[in-house]
Every structure is written in structure tokens, then in C-alpha cells.
Amino acid sequence: MTLKIAVMPGDGIGPEITKEAVRVLEALRTDGLKVEFEYAPIGGAAYRETGHPLPESTVALARASDAVLFGAVGDFSLDTLPRHLRPEQAILGIRKALNLFANFRPAMVYPELADASSMRPEIVAGMDILIVRELTGDIYFGTPRGHRICEDGPFKGDREAFDTMRYAETEIRRIAHVAFQAARKRNGKLCSVDKANVLETTQFWRDVVTEVAKEYPDVALSHMYVDNCAMQLLKDPKQFDVIVTGNLFGDILSDEASMLTGSIGMLPSASLNENNFGLYEPIHGSAPDIAGKDLANPLATVLSAGMMLRYTFGMEEYAARIESAVKAVLATGPRTGDIWRDGKVKTGTQGMGDALLAALAAQ
């Protein structure tokens, strides 16, 4: 069976980085991987082409494919458009349309990069965290939301804007199960992050996660407030194994965790539905300032392609080959500017892709 992968390059550096990930997947063809690619526009690129950031045909291609490889969306020049036409709505819309509620964001420090982190090497060396972020609920999608005239309190009569943080029990349960199962396959530790001291929604989150924990007596569950977690990630990141949290907190904490690893250009992600169908994307954005300049680090996208082989297709062997090619390049190959240091050859996006292909061939 040939795997059909929908490629959605998107905006900014999206096209450059997805190109390198596709080259890496294509290189595995010589070893028997059967893949084919079909492309669809998304984000600002789709808006310019079709008048909408998430055209129906793009969602249809995703549905007709076995997995999605996604670049990035975001384009400052379109930020003045009405919200529903902005590039970011495309990634939110496709996550929702495909019910991709479980977002895996691993943050690990490669020994070769321990000195690229802004943290002292002894704090981060050996760190290996998996953030499981709920991706289709929370304040990101909660209704009602909008603008209105304030009806009460000291600012009555003023203009105000509002969003709604909400979670249904089923939404919390299903992501909790995903996180407990992930913890079981790793070191058996799960930390659920909330703001239960202030927010009803997240007290409920804590209660439901605690109930689900009864089904996983082999996993050690702890709870942490999000502000403390933000601090603990900097103070002692190695205390964490799996972190499970809601959409908003997960967005923020995963960016923070990425910097511990040295560069946000290193972090892949998988967004899955209940059948392990998934969309795979780097956690970084479209980086318009460096777009088209052959400067972007493609490793997060390449590693996302690796996650695709593992999570959606169960092809552990090919996934491991991609990961070891990445490690080999980090150890001895050239590097893009974000992870470059003295003594290393500086290269660009394509140069990084070339080095990966050479490393794969040498395995």
C-alpha cells in the first residue's frame, strides 16, 4: 500500500522546510517506503490564491489522505483582515475539522545541542519531556466570544471583548487517557497542569484527570499550577516526564520548553484524532523575517515527518532512521544559524537537507 501524504506548506518558511522533509521521506523510498505526495494551499498562501485561508478543497484533501505534513501559517501583512480570514484560522480550523484533539510536543535536549541552550548544560542535559496539549477546546474555541458593551461593574458602558474558557468532561477524559497511555510507555510519570486555584474550568480539569487516574495505578500522577510549572521548567526541567494540559497553557508551555532544547527550530509535533490519523508540523511559526532566505532550520519539520511514520503508520524503523540521521548531522554535520556555534560549518535550509540525505545514505 502506498501512503498518501497531503503536504500543506503554508506561509513564510513553510515551503522551504516542508520541501526538506519531503526529500527525506523520498530518500526512504530506496529502502522500500512507499509514499506519494499531494499539495494543497493553506494560510495566507491559500487566502491569496482562493480568498480563504482554509479552502474546502484543502480539508477534503486532508480527509482523503493518510496523514498531513504541515509547514506553518502566519503573514503579518494579512493581520488587518477580519479574524476569520487570517492565516492562523487555517491551522485552528483544520485541527477542529479533523478532530485532532491530542497534540504531542516532545521537547528533548540532544547531547550535541546541550550547549546551544540558553540554560546551563547541567540543568538541561538529558532532559526529555513530552507535552500533551489538548488542541480542540478551551478558550481557543469556547463560545460565546466577541465584542460588546460592558453591562456591569466599574466599567459599565465601556466597550469590552471576551472569550470563554470551557471544557466538557468527555474532552478532558479523552486527552487524559491519551496522556496516561503515553506516560505508561515512557517513565510512568504524568504531571497535569492547571490553574485550579483560580479557574473553575481547570479545577474541573483536575477533578476529571484524578478520576481517570484510577484506571492507571501504574502511572504516578501529580498536579501543578501553570505559573509554577513555567518556573519549574526553567529551574529543574528534568523532573518532568509527561505533562498534560489544556490548549492555552499547552501553547505557552511548549514554546517555553522548546527554548530549553536550544532552538524552537528543533521541535516537532503530532496532532492526532482518536484513530491516530494525524497532522504533523513543527511547533514554530512561519518566521516571515527569514522566509525565502535559506536560513530556516528544517529539523523540526523533518522530525515531524519521523513522528508521522511512528504514530500514524507504526513504522518505528523508518522513524528511528530519520532520528538517527538528525543526530548524526548534529554530531558531525553543518548547522543552520539558530544552532550554529564555533567549530561548526554554517549552512542553510537546503544544506541541512543535503546533510540529512547523506547521513541516511551512510546508515
Give the interface with ligand IPM as residue ranges (CB under 6 A): 74, 88, 91-92, 251, 283, 285
CA angle 42, 310, 31 (to 5 degrees): 95
Residue nearest to ligand IPM (CB): 88
What is the gyration radius of the CA atoms in the chain, in angstroms?
Answer: 21
- Between residues 264 and 359, which has the closer beta carbon with respect to ligand IPM? 264
194 is catalytic: no
Beta strands in the chain (DSSP E): 3-10, 35-39, 67-72, 102-108, 128-134, 146-149, 159-162, 189-194, 220-225, 242-245, 268-272, 278-282
| Minimal distance, residue 91 CB to ligand IPM, in Å | 5
- Residue 47 or 216: the one with the smaller Cβ distance to ligand IPM is 47
Q: Which of 115, 207, 227, 236 is catalytic?
A: 227
Catalytically annotated residue among 140, 167, 311, 318 = 140
* 78/253 with CB nearer Mg ion: 253
| Residue 272 interacting partner from ligand IPM, Mg ion, none (CB closer than 5 to 8 Å by kind) | none
Specify whether 318 is catalytic: no
Indicate if 251 belongs to the active site. Answer: yes
Q: Report d(CA 244, CA 193) in Å as an integer.
A: 6
Closer residue to ligand IPM (CB): 53 or 351: 53
Beta bridge partners of 38: 6
Q: How far is CA 160 from CA 80, 83, 140, 149, 163, in A?
A: 19, 17, 18, 6, 11
For residue 57, give the C-alpha cell. Answer: 478543497
Q: Could you list the residues that contact Mg ion (CB under 5 A)?
A: 251
Cβ 70 to ligand IPM shortest distance, Å: 10
Identify which of residues 38 and 289 has a Cβ nearer to Mg ion in the complex: 289
> What residue 87 binds from Mg ion, ligand IPM, none (CB within 5 to 8 A, per partner kind)?
none
Q: What is the nearest approach in angstroms of ligand IPM to the Cβ of residue 360?
A: 28
| Closest distance to ligand IPM from the beta carbon of 133 (Å) | 8
Is 354 assigned a catalytic role? no
Least spacing, CB of residue 157 vs ligand IPM, in Å: 33
342 is catalytic: no
Report whether 254 contacts 267 (CB < 8 A).
yes
Cα–Cα distance measured from residue 33 to residue 35, given in angstroms and rounded to the nearest whole number: 6
Asked if 237 contacts 224 with a C-beta cutoff of 8 angstroms, the reply is no
With contact defined as beta carbons under 8 Å apart, do 69 and 8 qualify? Answer: yes
Given Mg ion, ligand IPM, none, residue 92, with its beta carbon under 5 to 8 Å by kind, binds ligand IPM
List, by residue number, the catalytic residues.
Answer: 140, 195, 227, 251, 255
